[in-house]
Every structure is written in C-alpha cells, then in structure tokens.
Amino acid sequence: MKKHAVRIVGGDYRKTPIPVVDVPGLRPTPDRVRETLFNWLYYFWDGDYAQKRVLDLFSGTGALGFEAASRGAAHVQMVESHPAAVAALRALRSRLKADNVRIHAGDATVALARMTDGSYDLIMLDPPFGQGWLDRLWTRIPAVLTPNGLLYIESEAAVSPPDGFELLRQGKAGHVHFHLLRFAAMQKTVNNPEIS
C-alpha cells in the first residue's frame, strides 16, 4: 500500500514535508489528528511548550515528535527501532536544525527501562497495532512521567486507562482511536542517566 505524504501542521516548521519510509506497519498520524492533539495540549498547557520535555516512543516518521519540536518543546526524545526510519528521522532533524530533538535507535521497552527519572511532561505512544504493546508498557510509564504528566495514545480500540491515569480527551479517525490521559499518581524520585 502506498503511503501518503504528511506535513508538520503548526509551529516553526509548519508545512515542512515529512518523508514516509517504507516500513511494515508504519502509520503516520494524520494531519487532522495531530492538529486535534496539539489543540488539546495548547489547552492543558496554556499554550506554553517552552519548558516541556516530550518522549515520542515508536517515532516512525517522527510526525508527532517533530510537531512538538516545531511548537517549541524544550526537549523531544524520539525512540525508533527500524534502521530506515531512524535514518530518515536523523536526516530530517539535520535538515531542520532541530537541536531540541534527540533520536535513540532501539527498542521502546529497553529505552523506557533506562528512563526512570520521571522527567517527561508528555509521552506519545503510537505503537504497531495488534502486538499488545500497551499491555507491556502500562507499568513502565509512571516512572517516566512527571506528576500530572500527559500520555497520548493511538490504538486500534478504545483504551480503558488503569489506576493512576485519568482520561482527558478521546477521538476516532477511521480505524484509529486516539486518547489524551493525565498521570495522577505520586511520582517516585529516581535519578538515572537519560538515554541518548
């Protein structure tokens, strides 16, 4: 199936095309879904991204992470395992001179296991569908989020958040369900080095 092109919809890099590499299961988040998500974030963050730290797991094309960087997030950490996708992410970061973006080539569960300092204000999860990723990740996410941090999820079905998470917003586009949750549990303070 031929992939359509996507573009950054807002911020400093607005209208920048994002290459969509031929990777099995890659589903770039559609423009209108990203626009909805960032409208939600604008509301909950009062339009202020300047101090926000964002983790984009399963980055794929990087559409979500580069959108956050475009809008002024202080730090965006991308995690992607497919070599072709990683190469495309690094090429786009270089082209944009996006110094607030870091890219880690590796597995999402391994990356999360190394990030237990509770320093991210937003985690964006758009994992491959039908592989049970959310069930594997729920218990790891609290250690990475700040108190009252936000969690964005795309999934093949509506998500019922576990204890400690509050559903703030949800929507559906085609076969994709998308959700914004808030982490309401107490933070554990652990100092671990950040991945790079």
Averaged pLDDT in 10-residue chunks for the chain of 196 residues: 73 92 81 93 94 95 96 96 94 96 93 86 91 86 92 92 92 92 65 45
pLDDT of residue 41: 97
CA angle 114, 118, 120 (to 5 degrees): 95
Residue listed under structure tokens 């730290």: 53
pLDDT of residue 66: 97
User: What are the tens digits of pLDDT across the range 92-137?
Assistant: 999 999 999 999 999 988 898 888 788 999 999 998 888 888 888 8
Q: Which residues pair with 104 in a beta bridge?
A: 79
pLDDT of residue 144: 93
pLDDT of residue 4: 63
DSSP string, the chain: -PPPPEE--SSTTTT-EE-----TT--PPPHHHHHHHHHHHHHHTTT--TT-EEEEES-TT-HHHHHHHHTT-SEEEEEE--HHHHHHHHHHHHHHT-TTEEEEES-HHHHHHH--S--EEEEEE-PPTTS-HHHHHTTTSTTTEEEEEEEEEEESS-----TTEEEEEEEEETTEEEEEEEE-SPPP----PPP-
pLDDT of residue 192: 43
pTM: 0.89
pLDDT of residue 191: 43
Task: Yes or no: say if 108 and 58 are a contact pair by the CB < 8 Å rule.
Answer: yes
User: What are the tens digits of pLDDT across the range 6-16?
Assistant: 899 999 999 99
Please give the Cα distance from 156 to 159 (Å, whole number).
9
* Domains of the chain (ranges, CATH numbers): 6-183 (3.40.50.150)
